[in-house]
Structure 1
Amino acid sequence: MDRLEIALVSIPVLLGMIFVRVPIGLAMLLCGIGGTVLVTGRWVPIMASLKSLTYDVISNHSLSIVPLFLLMGQFATKGGMSESLFRAAAAFLGHRRGGVAMAGIGACAGFGAICGSSLATAATMAQVALPEMRRYGYSGALSTGSLAAGGTLGILIPPSIVLVIYAILAEQNIVKMFIAAIIPGIMAAVGFMLVVAVYVRVNPASAETRERVDFRGRVRAVVDVWPVALIFLLVIGGIYVGWFTPTEAAAVGAAGTGILALRSGELDWKGLKDCLLATAVSTAMIYFIVFGAQVYNTFLAFAQLPQTSAEWVAASGFSPWMVLVLILVAYLLFGCVMDSLSMILLTVPIFFPLIMTLDFGMSPEETAIWFGILVLVTVELGLVTPPVGMNIFIINSLAPDIPLTETYRGVVPFLIAEIIRIALLAAIPAIILFLPRMMQ
C-alpha cells in the first residue's frame, strides 16, 4: 500500500477500535504510531515527534483554559446554582403548557454559560428538572428528549471547551469564537422551546400545567439567580471589552464561582476536594485525547492526506457549498459513533485546510470562524443522534424507568429543529459573524 492508502485504511481501523471501547486517546495514539512507522518505514520520525509533542501539549498555554473552565463547572454544580436557574426559569415559564420542559431548556442554557460541558449540563439539570416533570405528568419522551437536547447547549453557549480546542487547532482568536457562538446559542435555546410548544399542542396528554408564580415569587427567583448572571457577564463581558484574556477570564470565573459556592453553604471542604479531583481527572483525559490526536494528525501529515484531499476536491469540480454540505453530513455520521471532542480533534486537521482553500465570499478569518461555529453546532447535534448520543445515555441513566427507545422518540423533533438551524447558519453566515464584526 502507498502512504495515502495507509491513511485511508487507518480511519476505519480507528473507528473500529473506538467501537470496541478502546479509549479514544489510546486508539488515536496507536493508529498514529503504527501508521507513521508504516508510511516512513522507520521508528525514528515518530520517536522524534513523541519527544516534542508530549512537551508541546502539556506546556500549551492556550490549553490551560480547559482545567479552569472545568473547575468553574464543578463549582457551579456543587454550589447548587442549577437549582436556582431552574426555579427562575420555571417562575416565568412553568405555568405554560410544556413550561416545565421549557424551563429545563432555559436552565440548561444558563448553566452552559458557566459550565462549558454538555455532559455535565445534561446530568446536572436532569437531576433538578426530571422530578418536577414527573410531578406534573410529563411523558417520558418529552421530559428526557427535551433535557437531552437542552444539555447540548453546554458546549454551544460560551464558554465552551470544545470551542477552545477548535480555536487552538485552527489557530483562531478564542475571544471571537466565543462571541460568534452567542447568537447561535440563543437561537438553539429558543428553537428548542418552540419545539416543546409545538409538541405539547400535537400531544396534549404529554404535559400538564402547573400553577402560575406571582410577581413577588418571580422577583425572588431572579434575585436568587444573580450569581450566575454575574459570573457570565464577568467572564464573557470581561473578554469582550478587553479586561481579561480568555485564560485570565477562566481563572476569574473559576475563582468567582468557587467563592459564590462557598458563600451559599453548598460547598464544604470535602466538596472542594471532590471538585479538584474531578477537574484533575477530566483534564488528564482531555490532555491525553489531545496528545493522541496530535500523534495521529502527525501521521496524516506524513501520509499527506489533508493535501491530497484538497487537491482532489479542487480537481473534482464540486462547488464550495457542495463540499461544505458533504463535510457537515460527515460530521452527522461521525456523531453517531463518536463524542464531540474526539470528532473535533480527528477531523479539523483534515477538513479545516480544505475549507480554507475554498471561496465563500468572506475573509479567511471570517471563513474560519463561520466554519468553526457550524462544526460546533453539528457536533452538538451528534450528542443526541442515535445510536451513541452521549446526552441520551446520560439522561436515560438518570431515568432508568423510561425505555431508551422512548427517549430516542422524544429527541427526534429536536433533531429536526437542529438540522433547520444548521441550514440557516450555513446559508446566512451573517448570523454568526454579526457580533465578531462589531468587535473590529
Structure 2
Amino acid sequence: MAQVALPELRAHGYSGRLSTGTLAAAGTLGIMIPPSVPLVIYAVLTQESIGKLFMAAVIPGLMAMTGYMLVIRILVTLDPKAGPAGEKHSWTERLTATLAVLPVMGVFAVVIVGIYGGWANPTEAASIGAAACGILAIISGGMRWKGIKESLMGTAYATAMIFMVLLGADLLNSGLAITQLPTELAEWVKTSGLPPMAVLIAILLIYVLLGCVMDSLAMILLTIPIFYPMVMGLDFFGMSVPDKSVWFGILALMVVEIGLVHPPVGMNLFIIQKLAKDVPYMETAKGVMPFLASDFMRIGFLIAFPAISLWLVRSM
C-alpha cells in the first residue's frame, strides 16, 4: 500500500511525517479487521471459535479506523500545511472517477465473498485477487512489457526487504525463546500478587515491550499458552470463561497491533522508512505517536467496557 499511496500523498503536498505516520499506523488495520491471521492463530491455540473472534473484532476494528480518521482531522486542523486541501471537483467528475474504480471494487467483492463463502481460503482468495488485478491492468492498457518488468522488480525488491526484516525478527525470537524471557516475565506477573486488573495491564504492557523486538505471530505463539490460563483464572466483572476468552483475544490482538508501529523498532516503521527515503526515521516515529495515543485510548475503552467487543458475539 505504501508503494501506491505514498507517492500520491507526497504529490498532493502532504508532509512527510503525516504521510509515513498514517501509512505505518493504517497498515495495522488488516490485523484488526477480519479475516485476521493472528486471530486464527489465537483461536487454534485456545480452542476458541474463529467466528466469534471475527465478530468480536468488528466493532474494535471500526473504532480503530474512526480513531485514525479523527487523528488525521485534528492534525490537519492544527497544521493545515501538513495536509493541504485538494482541488475541488464537480459531481460529474466524482461519478466518473467512482465508475472507473468499480472493476477493482468488484475484485474486492469476489475475494471477500470467496473467503466468507467458504470456497477459497485467504491465500487462494489473495491469488485470485492478484490475478484479476493483473488482467484488469492488461485490459486497461496500463500493463505492458515495461510495466510487467517494473512490477516484478518492485515486488522482488519489496519482498526481499521485508523478508530481511522478518529473518532478523525470527533470529531474535529464537534467542528470546532459548533464554525463556517471555516465560520469566509471565511468571513474574503471575506471582506478583497484583489484583486482576493490574495483572491484565501488566500483561498488556509486556506485549507492548515484546512488540518492539518481536513480530506479531511469534508473540502470540510464545505468550498465549502462558498468559491465557492465567487470565482465565482471574475474575473480571464477573464474566464467564467464554466471554473472557474472546475479550482477552481482542485485547491481545490490539496490543500486538501497537507493537508493529511502536518506536524504536516497530516493523512497519522500517518498511515505510525503506520506501520513503526522503523522510527521516525520527519524523516517521513522531508521525505515528498521535495514532498510538488513539490506540491506547481504544484499549482503555475495551478494558473498561468489555461489552464493546462482546455485543455482536452475544447477539449471534
**TM-score strictly above 0.5:** yes
The one-letter code of the counterpart of 1:369 is V
Q: Which residue of 1 aligns with 2:7?
A: 131
* Aligned twin of 2:104: 225
Equivalent pair of 1:148/1:392 in contact (CA under 8 Å): yes
C-alpha distance in structure 2 between counterparts of 1:329 and 1:184, whole Å? 19
What is residue 96 of structure 1 aligned with on the other side? none
1:148–1:391 contact (8 Å) kept in structure 2? yes
Contact 1:153 1:189 in 2 (8 A): yes
Q: Does 1:312 align with 2:191?
A: yes
Could you tell me which runs of 5 or more consecutive residues in structure 2 were left unpaired when the two chains were aligned: none
Give the 5 Å matches for 1:24-63. Answer: none
C-alpha distance in structure 2 between counterparts of 1:427 and 1:184, whole Å: 13
How far does the alpha carbon of each residue in 1:390-431 deviate from its partner, in whole angstroms, 9 at most, with x for none? 111111110111111111111111111110011111211111
107, 132, 135: which is aligned to 1:263? 135
Tell me, in whole angstroms, the C-alpha distance in 2 between the residues paired with 1:438 and 1:133: 41
Alignment of 1:28-427 (within 5 A): 125-213=1-89, 214=91, 215-231=94-110, 233-235=112-114, 237-238=116-117, 244=118, 248-250=120-122, 253-254=125-126, 256-265=128-137, 312=191, 316=193, 318-360=194-236, 361-427=238-304
TM-score normalised by the chain length of structure 1: 0.59
- Separation in structure 2 between the aligned mates of residue 359 and residue 382 of structure 1, nearest angstrom: 27
What per-residue deviation string (whole Å, max 9, x for no partner) do you get for residues 36-59 of structure 1? xxxxxxxxxxxxxxxxxxxxxxxx
Please report the TM-score for the alignment, with normalisation by the length of structure 2.
0.80
The residue identity in structure 2 corresponding to 1:437 is R
Shift in Å, 1:217:
2.7
Q: Root-mean-square deviation (CA), in Å?
A: 3.3
* 1-structure distance, mates of 2:293, 2:34: 23
Larger RCO, structure (CA 8 Å, separation 6 or more): 2
Kept after mapping to 1: 8 A contact 2:215/2:267: yes
| 1:210 alignment partner AA | G
Distance in structure 1 (CA, Å) of the matches to 2:298 and 2:105: 30
Letter in 1 for 2:106: P
SS at match of 1:407: helix
Separation in 1 of the partners of 2:115 and 2:313? 13
- Residues 309 and 170 (structure 1 numbering): CA distance in 2 closer, same or farther, change over 3 Å? farther
Q: Is the 8 A contact 2:186 2:203 kept in 1?
A: no
Partners of 1:228 and 1:330 lie apart in 2 by: 40
Are the structure 2 counterparts of residues 256 and 179 from structure 1 closer, same or farther at C-alpha, using a change threshold of 3 Å? farther
1:438 positional shift = 2.3
- Counterpart CA distance in 2 for 1:392 and 1:175 is 31
SS of corresponding position for 2:315: helix
- Per-residue deviation, 1:187: 1.2
* 1:205–1:259 CA distance, 2 compared to 1 (3 A): closer
Q: Tell me the amino acid that sits aligned with residue 297 of structure 2.
A: I
Question: For structure 1, which runs of at least 5 residues remain unmatched after alignment?
Answer: 1-124, 239-243
Aligned length: 291
**In 2, distance between residues paired with 1:324 and 1:418?**
17
Distance in 2 between the 1:190 and 1:222 partners?
23
Per-residue deviation at 1:172? Answer: 1.3
Given residue 261 of structure 1, which amino acid in structure 2 is its aligned partner?
C
> Is the contact between residue 306 and residue 350 of structure 1 (CA under 8 Å) also seen in structure 2?
no
Report how far residue 233 of structure 1 moved: 3.9
Deviation, structure 1 residue 265: 4.5
| Identity within the alignment, % | 46
Counterparts in 2 of 1:171 and 1:201: CA distance versus 1, 3 Å:
same
Q: How far apart, in 2, do the equivalents of 1:310 and 1:333 lie?
A: 14
Give CA deviations for 1:191-244 in whole Å, capped at 9, x if unaligned.
111101000111122121212343423431551332344135414643xxxxx3
Q: Is the 8 A contact 2:25 2:288 kept in 1?
A: yes
1:324 deviation in Å?
0.8
Matched letter for residue 261 of structure 2: V
Contact 1:141 1:406 in 2 (8 A): yes
AA aligned opposite 1:395 = I
Q: Deviations over 1:90-125 (max 9, x none)?
A: xxxxxxxxxxxxxxxxxxxxxxxxxxxxxxxxxxx1
In structure 2, the residue corresponding to 1:414 is in which secondary structure?
helix
Aligned-partner Cα distance in 2 for 1:249–1:202: 44
> Residues 226 and 334 from structure 1, CA distance in 2 versus in 1: closer, same or farther, beyond 3 angstroms?
same
CA contact (8 A) 1:366 1:433 kept: yes
1:349, distance to aligned residue in structure 2 (A): 1.3
How far 1:305 moved relative to its partner? 7.1
Q: How many angstroms apart in 2 are the aligned matches of 1:348 and 1:142?
A: 34
